[in-house]
Amino acid sequence: MNRITEPDPRCTLAALMPSFTRLAIPDLLLEEVIEHAREDAPIECCGLLAGHISESVGVVTTRFAIANELRSRSDYLTEPRGMFLAFRAMRESGLELLAIYHSHPTSEPVPSLRDIDGNTYGESVVHLIVGLGGEKADARGWWLTETGSREAVVVAAGLV
Ligand SMILES: [Zn+2]
């Protein structure tokens, strides 16, 4: 199952391990991610967060909304054209892919088995999940391993 359509071409093991330990997201961008999740509900939304790595912190500067090709309430597949354009824009701007985000419209922001099985990025990026199942929207980040997940440190940042 290859749910993410354009994996990082650097397919060595080292490239699939984390190159930063914390993800810093400006408040405004996190708001945008949550808004995207609300707009696309009841289907799952997805997108990419890019930026640069500074002293072990992945500092997000740019968001790319990507269409969910599956238009599913419980799964997502990043649409290839959107991925192509996002990766091109990242290359042109010298940005690194730091996180992939998607939503769980009716449940907690915890990785599903599909999220873990479908991950083709190893631990090179954080998977940020927005959960709309509770009273308030909640966003949590995860490193997905081959067999499970561990929570990533995600910090809100002011304007970066
Ligand atoms: Zn999920």
Q: What is the CATH number of the domain that holds 146?
A: 3.40.140.10
**Is 2 within the bounds of a domain?**
no
Would residue 86 count as lying in a domain? yes
The Å distance, Cα 102 to ligand 1 centre, comes to 6
In the chain, the amino acid numbered 63 is R
Q: Are 3 and 118 in contact (CB under 8 A)?
A: yes
Query: Is position 101 within any domain?
Result: yes
- Rounded to the nearest whole angstrom, what is the distance from the C-alpha of residue 56 to the centroid of ligand 1? 26
pTM of the prediction?
0.90
What is the spatial distance between Cα 67 and Cα 145, in angstroms, rounded to a whole number?
Answer: 25
Per-residue pLDDT of the chain (160 residues), as tens digits, is: 445 555 555 556 666 788 999 999 999 999 999 999 999 999 999 999 999 999 999 999 999 999 999 999 999 999 999 999 999 999 999 999 999 999 999 999 999 999 999 999 999 999 999 999 999 999 999 999 988 999 999 999 875 4
- Please tell me the distance between residue 74's alpha carbon and the centre of ligand 1 in angstroms: 7
Q: Say what the pLDDT of residue 9 is.
A: 53
Q: Which residues, other chains included, contact 16 with Cβ-Cβ below 8 Å and sequence gap of 6+? A: 8, 121, 122, 123, 124
Tell me if 29 is assigned to some domain.
Answer: yes
Instruction: Give the chain's domain count.
Output: 1
Q: For position 17, what pLDDT does the model report?
A: 81
What domain range is 81 assigned to?
16-157
Q: Which residues surround ligand 1, an ion (CB under 5 A)?
A: 112, 115
Cβ neighbour number for residue 119 with a 10 Å cutoff = 25
Ligand 1 centroid, distance to 122 Cα (angstroms): 15
Give yes or no for a contact between 98 and 152, defined as CB atoms under 8 angstroms apart. no
Q: What is the pLDDT of residue 5?
A: 55
pLDDT for res 2:
47
Report the distance separating Cα 121 and Cα 141, nearest Å: 14
